[in-house]
């Protein structure tokens, strides 16, 4: 076992800074503030089940919108905690229509933060894993206050990105470009301890993760690609399907086991294909993690990290995971790859 396992975050960051003298402590301090948010959110997420069972809020059973209040709690925790750190000059949250400036009374810093405070929230009352996703960019604008334009940078310019996963244990996964590292929260001491350093995603996998309820809305290349994965070929058995419906959980499994997660475009309105996942605080941060871990993250027609956002809630199609499976997706979409025989996954006619 790697002797670094069990290292505290501050020790690990200090070691990393020795290895990368250019790294300033500011990103690390930002990470420590994000951990404070994660610990507060994780505590409330764990109580949600309790509230439902014990009706502590006075409700006979907590309806979805009651559990959904966790979205608001997570968002307010992130905004309140991160506003006064002095490291940021502007924020963007999935829950806020507009960019979030840093209040005048607080010092401004050189970073901007984009975040999804609670990802997969529709799964909370099913006790399925959910998470928080964050992306950090360096400001481009001069002056004291940040500018909303600082948020509209391509993902390749992120200085760091990561997510917290509130599951059977609470994990933090992050990268600053040199390695992807996984920390696990030890609740007995309230500290995140290193569980895996320099994670590499497998070159290929045996799982595909996509909501097949949307098959009718996909373009033909995507349908043929998924059909190909579901079919046995001379070299391999069919892929197995896994789909939780929480992006962070589905991505984390893909990072650990390999394969692909996809949320293709919806082609219902002709000429206006629509992705579901958001670029700034879902696709870009996970794309950075995936690429640093040796994988690939694509819109199906190009690198996620090269997409220049036009607005903070821009949606994109997402194909992310092991290089082999994502490259296949791109080839099927481009019409450069066809299944060996059509309709492989359909059982042979009687």
Contacts to ligand AHG by CB under 6 A: 94, 116, 119-122, 211, 245-247, 250, 276
Sequence-distant (≥ 6) Cβ neighbours of residue 278 within 8 angstroms: 94, 116, 313, 314, 315, 316
Dihedral sign for Cα 250, 252, 255, 258, please. negative
What is the nearest approach in angstroms of Mn ion to the Cβ of residue 247?
A: 5
Asked whether position 150 contacts Mn ion by CB under 5 A, the answer is no
- Rg, the chain, Cα only: 21
List binders of Mn ion among 82-101 (CB under 5 A): 94
- Residue closer to Mn ion (CB basis): 23 or 171: 171
- Residue closer to ligand AHG (CB basis): 150 or 250: 250
With CB under 5 to 8 Å by kind, the binding choice for 211 among Mn ion, ligand AHG, none is ligand AHG
With CB under 5 to 8 Å by kind, the binding choice for 246 among Mn ion, ligand AHG, none is ligand AHG
Binding mask 105-134 for Mn ion (x = CB under 5 A): -----------x-xx---------------
Q: What residues does 195 pair with on adjacent strands?
A: none
How far is it, in rounded angstroms, from Cα 103 to Cα 94?
A: 19
Cβ atoms of 268 and 276 closer than 8 Å: no
What is the nearest approach in angstroms of ligand AHG to the Cβ of residue 215?
A: 12
From the centroid of its chain, how far is CA 101?
Answer: 23
Cβ atoms of 90 and 148 closer than 8 Å: yes
- Residue closer to ligand AHG (CB basis): 121 or 322: 121
Structure tokens at 224: 């043929």
What is the nearest approach in angstroms of ligand AHG to the Cβ of residue 95?
A: 9
How far is it, in rounded angstroms, from Cα 59 to Cα 310?
A: 42
How far is it, in rounded angstroms, from Cα 250 to Cα 226?
A: 17
With CB under 5 to 8 Å by kind, the binding choice for 331 among ligand AHG, Mn ion, none is none
Nearest to 334, CA basis, from 283, 287, 298: 298
With CB under 5 to 8 Å by kind, the binding choice for 150 among Mn ion, ligand AHG, none is none
What is the nearest approach in angstroms of Mn ion to the Cβ of residue 234?
A: 39
What is the nearest approach in angstroms of Mn ion to the Cβ of residue 41?
A: 12
How far is it, in rounded angstroms, from Cα 297 to Cα 309?
A: 16
What is the nearest approach in angstroms of ligand AHG to the Cβ of residue 118?
A: 6
Binding site for Mn ion (CB under 5 A): 94, 116, 118-119
């Amino acid at each position: 076992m790697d002797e670094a396992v069990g290292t505290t975050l501050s020790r690990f960051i200090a070691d990393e800074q020795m290895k990368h003298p250019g790294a300033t402590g500011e990103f690390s301090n930002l990470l420590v503030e994000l951990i404070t948010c994660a610990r507060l959110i994780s505590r409330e997420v764990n109580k949600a089940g309790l509230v439902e069972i014990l009706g502590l809020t006075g409700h006979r059973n907590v309806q979805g919108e009651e559990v959904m209040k966790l979205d608001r709690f997570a968002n307010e925790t992130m905004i309140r905690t991160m506003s006064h750190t002095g490291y940021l000059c502007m924020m963007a949250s999935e829950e806020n229509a507009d960019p979030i400036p840093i209040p005048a009374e607080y010092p401004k810093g050189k970073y901007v933060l984009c975040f999804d405070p609670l990802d997969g929230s529709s799964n909370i009352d099913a006790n399925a894993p959910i998470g928080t996703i964050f992306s950090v960019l360096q400001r481009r604008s001069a002056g004291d206050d940040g500018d909303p334009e600082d948020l509209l940078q391509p993902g390749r310019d992120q200085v760091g990105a990561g997510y917290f996963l509130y599951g059977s244990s609470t994990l933090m996964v992050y990268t600053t470009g040199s390695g992807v590292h996984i920390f696990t929260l030890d609740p007995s001491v309230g500290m995140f301890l290193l569980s895996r350093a320099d994670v590499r995603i497998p070159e290929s996998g045996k799982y595909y993760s996509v909501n097949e309820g949307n098959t009718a809305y996909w373009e033909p290349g995507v349908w043929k690609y998924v059909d190909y994965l579901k079919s046995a070929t001379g070299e391999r058995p069919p892929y197995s399907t896994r789909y939780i419906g929480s992006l962070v959980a589905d991505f984390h499994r893909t990072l650990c086991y390999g394969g692909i997660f996809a949320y293709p475009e919806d082609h219902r309105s002709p000429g206006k294909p629509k992705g579901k996942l958001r670029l700034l605080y879902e696709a870009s941060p996970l794309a950075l993690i995936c690429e640093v871990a040796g994988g690939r993250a694509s819109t199906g027609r190009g690198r996620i990290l090269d997409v220049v956002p036009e607005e903070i809630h821009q949606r994109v199609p997402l194909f992310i995971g092991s290089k082999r499976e994502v490259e296949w997706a791109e080839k099927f979409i481009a019409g450069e790859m066809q299944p060996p025989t059509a309709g492989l996954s359909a059982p042979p006619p009687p």
